Amino acid sequence: MSDIEKVRCLIIGSGPAGYTAAIYAGRANLSPVLYEGLQPGGQLTTTTDVENFPGYPQSITGTELMEDLKKQAERFGADIRFGMATASDLSKAPYKITIDEKKVIEADTVIISTGATAKYLGLEDEKKYQGMGVSACATCDGFFYRNKEVAVVGGGDTACEEALFLASLASKVYLVVRKDYLRASKIIQERVFKNDKIEVLFEHNAIGLYGDDGVEGVHLVKRKGEADEEKYDLPISGFFLAIGHTPNSDIFKPYLKTDDVGYILTEPGTPKTNVPGVFAAGDVADPIYRQAVTAAGSGCKAAIEAERYLSEKGL
Ligand code: NDP
């Protein structure tokens, strides 16, 4: 292949982890090259106001925050490019990453900050009302539903935690569960059942949303016995998905250790993967916290570790 470029620090992904890594790597003179991926700015660009990122007492929109982080990284020399990593060869250094199936980057260090993608049900209405009542992050968007009625879809730990969080703000929370039991851990289930504001709708599926100016309700189907079902509409203002996330780690899996779901495993407390010089930061390695600020923190750690690795190797 002719189109090969050599870099010292390659950052893949443009969420808070990737841009923060780029700021630190730029300031450390690593001349980082960052590929933005399919969704420049990452998951935060799908939300509206961000009120929990430190330093913004009046809040900031997700898009503005990401544009600011990008400008900050560029100010320190990060080379930010549009493009998607489509293949990897981490078998030996320098590591080879293919961009858009044609260009190959040879990198001494790689920071993987490709994020995770929230799963959606696949309804057309989820796209139609994205940012207008549909959200996959209660911690990010719950505050906008104070004293309103909302629904959370899912029966795992995330769904139950999101329902409990929302119950502290909303007037009523419906937990829409497709089976007749919750998959969440017992202790969290108990909290859900004890909470007066939460009503669990077992054996329910959401099949659509309605509303003229944002979400005003959800079309539900309740299973009744083997062959019977009942359709009805439930008025709500917020529709939260909590049916799991998919970490964007597929192209690295032949080389990196991951958990069963695909989250990249790192040395506890560090962004170090099992391949020296390859680091994972942000949601691709974090099934638990998944916050912009924790992602940013891990991006910072990854850049510091990349700098140490390069100086130890004399690169
Ligand atoms: P899970 O995979 O555990 O649960 C997903 C839930 O969504 C299940 O109830 C599943 O239903 C439901 N679901 C999936 N697809 C659909 C669909 N198409 N329609 C309707 N419902 C659907 O994901 P979580 O994000 O909850 O958790 C991921 C991991 O992180 C787990 O290991 C969890 O224990 C852990 N975690 C731990 C926390 C803690 O300990 N504090 C907090 C958050 C997560 P079904 O059961 O029918 O498959």
Compute the distance from residue 184 Cα to the ligand 1 centre, in Å. 7
- Range of the structural domain that residue 215 is part of: 120-241
Atom of ligand 1 nearest to the CA of 244: 25
- Which CATH number characterizes residue 50's domain? 3.50.50.60
Is ligand 1 within 6 A of the CB of residue 159? yes
Is ligand 1 within 6 A of the CB of residue 77? no
**Cα(217)–Cα(202) distance, integer angstroms:** 18
Report in angstroms the alpha-carbon separations of 72 from 34, 49, 238, 281: 13, 20, 34, 18
135-177: pLDDT as tens digits: 998 888 899 999 999 999 999 988 998 999 999 999 999 999 9
Atom of ligand 1 nearest to the CA of 179: 47
Residue nearest to atom 36 of ligand 1 (CA): 157
| Per-residue pLDDT at 191 | 96
Interacting residues of 13 by C-beta distance below 8 A, sequence separation 6+: 34, 35, 36, 37, 42, 112, 113, 114, 115, 248, 282, 284
98-114: pLDDT as tens digits: 999 999 999 999 999 99
Mean pLDDT across the stretch 264-280?
98
**Cα(303)–Cα(78) distance, integer angstroms:** 12
- Do 79 and 158 belong to one domain? no
- Do 188 and 128 belong to one domain? yes
Residues serving a catalytic function are: 137, 140-141
- Do 110 and 147 belong to one domain? no
- Do 113 and 249 belong to one domain? yes
Contact in structure between 91 and 293 (CB atoms under 8 Å): no
- Do 190 and 287 belong to one domain? no
Q: What are phi and psi of 13, to 5 degrees?
A: 115, 145
Compute the distance from residue 157 Cα to the ligand 1 centre, in Å. 6
Q: Would the pTM count as exceeding 0.75? A: yes
Structural domain total, the chain: 2
| Per-residue pLDDT at 224 | 84
Q: Please report which confidence band the pLDDT of residue 92 belongs to, taking 50, 70 and 90 as the band edges.
A: very high
Is ligand 1 within 6 A of the CB of residue 156? yes
